Amino acid sequence: MTATIISGKELAQTFHEDIAQEVQRLRKNNVQPGLAVILVGEHPASVSYVKAKIKDCEKVGIHSTAIRLGERTTESELLAHIDKLNHDPQIHGILVQLPLPDHISEEKVINAIVPEKDVDGFHPVNVGNMVIGDECFLPCTPHGIVKMIKSTGTDLQGKHVVVVGRSNIVGKPVSLLMLQEHATVTICHSRTQKLTDITKQADVLIVAVGREEFVGKEHVAPGTIVIDVGVNRNHEGRLVGDVRFDELKEIASFITPVPGGVGPMTRTMLLYNTLESAKRHQAVTHTG
């Protein structure tokens, strides 16, 4: 079997067209969606992620502002920037690129963003609302993964989804979203015993462990849908995922590539959340 590639890049393009139309519609009603992205330091991957996010905004007509702060920025300076953006009516979404330097508390920073502008979906209020299935901003990577699986025409009801990884950004939230799709979900992690026995039972395997080409053919049964969330630079300087793509493309039914898979859809869900935030803002200002 040769897998069908789920191209996040192509799927993102179709979402961009819809988002751009919605942005135009809002603009006609005098609402210009705006996103602020804060980057602290010069982490090379973060620098390129932030650039890509700004470029995406330009593409769909969302106003964006990138605030680049030095590595030595203090926590209180960063919190002051966030406070200003929280009160800025032109800004509907605030994203602080992670990871932050060690002297700054990620928790404090995430908690400082008002939930109404937390387009990352990381604030405890949004996380809590996601858990109970209430209105919230869904975290971008998990949300993008749901869209990618749905694009294959797969009905997740009753399917066994195995998630490898338990991070707050991907593993935990994607497991919950899969549960909301009525899948049966197993979460595996670095201390899981007999990992291959579990991953082989998966109808859908989502891998977010941050370890270069960790998952291979010994982990996967024929016909599995494989979603690779990893982005690692290998010893040749090439971007590779958490799964051995060349091995698994011969076994899986569908597989996401790296690059061009989950990444572009994560960024697209950020645009989606920013647009959503602007729409909510419009609804409040027009009724309140």
Question: Which residues are known catalytic residues?
Answer: 53, 97, 120
120 binds ligand GUN (CB under 6 A): yes
- φ, ψ for residue 94, nearest 5 deg: -125, 130
- Least distance from C-beta 96 to ligand GUN, angstroms? 6
Among 20, 98, 125, 131, binds ligand GUN (CB under 6 A): 98
287 contacts 34 by C-beta, under 8 angstroms: no
**In angstroms, what is the minimal distance from the CB of 76 to ligand GUN?**
20
Closest CA to 79 of 107, 115, 44: 107
Which of 95, 127, 161, 255 is in the footprint of ligand GUN by CB under 6 A? 95
Verify binding: residue 35, ligand GUN, rule CB under 6 A: no
Specify whether the CB–CB gap between 270 and 169 falls below 8 A.
no
Q: What angle do CA 48, 49, 53 make, to 5 degrees?
A: 115
* CA 94/CA 113 separation, integer angstroms: 7
Q: Which of residues 140-169 bind ligand GUN (CB under 6 A)?
A: 140-141, 169
Whole-number Å distance between alpha carbons of 279 and 288: 14
Residue 145 CB coordination number (10 Å)? 31
At 22 the three-state DSSP class reads: helix
Site size toward ligand GUN, by CB under 6 A: 8
- The region of 53-61, 62-70, 91-99, 213-221 touching ligand GUN under the rule CB under 6 A is 91-99
Among 26, 57, 62, 96, binds ligand GUN (CB under 6 A): 96
Task: Provide the minimum distance between the beta carbon of 221 and ligand GUN in the complex, in angstroms, as a whole number.
Answer: 30
- 67 contacts ligand GUN (rule: CB under 6 A): no
Name the minimum Å distance from CB 143 to ligand GUN.
10
Inter-helix orientation angle 44-60/262-287, to 10°: 50
Q: Which two tokens stand for residue 209?
A: 């462990």
Residue of 73, 97, 273, 277 that binds ligand GUN (CB under 6 A): 97
